[in-house]
Amino acid sequence: MRNNRKAVEDRQAELLRMVTSEEEVPVEELAEKLGVSAMTIRRDLSLLNRRGLLIRTHGKALSLSFAEKKQQENRTVAECRDRISRYAAGLVKDGETLFINGSRTALGLLRYLEEKQVRVITNNGWVLDEQYPENVRVRLLGGDLYDHVLIGEYVVESLIGLRADKLFIGCAAVYENGAFRYDIPTEIGINEMMISRTKGKIYVLADHTKLQDRDVTGTVYGSCRYNIPVTLVTDDGADPGILEKLRAEGIETVVVRPEDVE
């Protein structure tokens, strides 16, 4: 019994050392390196998590310092997105009709419209939980629910008879060659339909983490390049090199700094 307990304690100590050293490690990798099952690793991680020695997440283990760093990064990104939303609200005029896609940042502009009388047409299910002024009228397009976004032919067909003055959309990534990535099926087609029904300017809202080199990989449904002028609104954390390449591709860029929305 003592030997078994000692073996468990040694394994957990080595597990903690690995996580502390590597900062973020998948469960399967820990199991392979320590020669035990993933279930055993999960039990060990749950115990170490309860003792406050590391952070267990879905499928991974994080060191305490790395988890704190990620939390700070998330807070910073949230602040940048809110800044972009506030700036975007200033681009809206009283009496306008807006299209907004599934972007949380784009939807966030509703909170800052103040006394403006605005009509919003969106396929963004998050609007049901959004707090916005009573003078903002919202029309939620019907369709098939995918995560928080309504998609499918019904959304596209509903847009045929509608028009908007401006369009505010988000994306999964903005590549340095001017392509915009989307990871939700049919989202590109819905965005293009919104574009075709918009009389005025098209704004793509994307925080600095979404500006990427093309070789960055991940879950990708598709990407596209819009054949009409669009304005990218991002924050001052954006890579200057990528911004320069985007401007060379003919994309107008707006960098929002804290003082721009004070």
Burial status of residue 164 (CB atoms within 10 A of its CB: 0-12, 13-18, 19 or more): buried
Whether this prediction's pTM lies above 0.75 is answered by yes
pLDDT in tens, 193-210: 999 999 999 999 999 999
SS3 call for 206: coil
- Residue 256 and residue 226 in contact, taking contact as beta carbons nearer than 8 Å: no
Q: Which amino acid is at 186?
A: T
* pLDDT value at residue 73: 78
**The pLDDT of residue 228 is above 70:** yes
Structure tokens at 240: 């200057």
- Residue 141 and residue 158 in contact, taking contact as beta carbons nearer than 8 Å: yes
- Please report where in the chains the tokens 């304005």 appear, as a residue: 231
Structure tokens at 14: 């080595």
Query: In percent, how much of the chain has pLDDT > 90?
Result: 75
Largest CA distance in the chain: 76
**The pLDDT of residue 6 is above 90:** no
Q: Would you say the C-alpha torsion 247, 251, 257, 262 has a positive or negative sign?
A: positive
* pLDDT value at residue 244: 96
Structural domains for the chain: 2-62 (1.10.10.10), 75-261 (3.40.50.10470)
**The pLDDT of residue 218 is above 70:** no
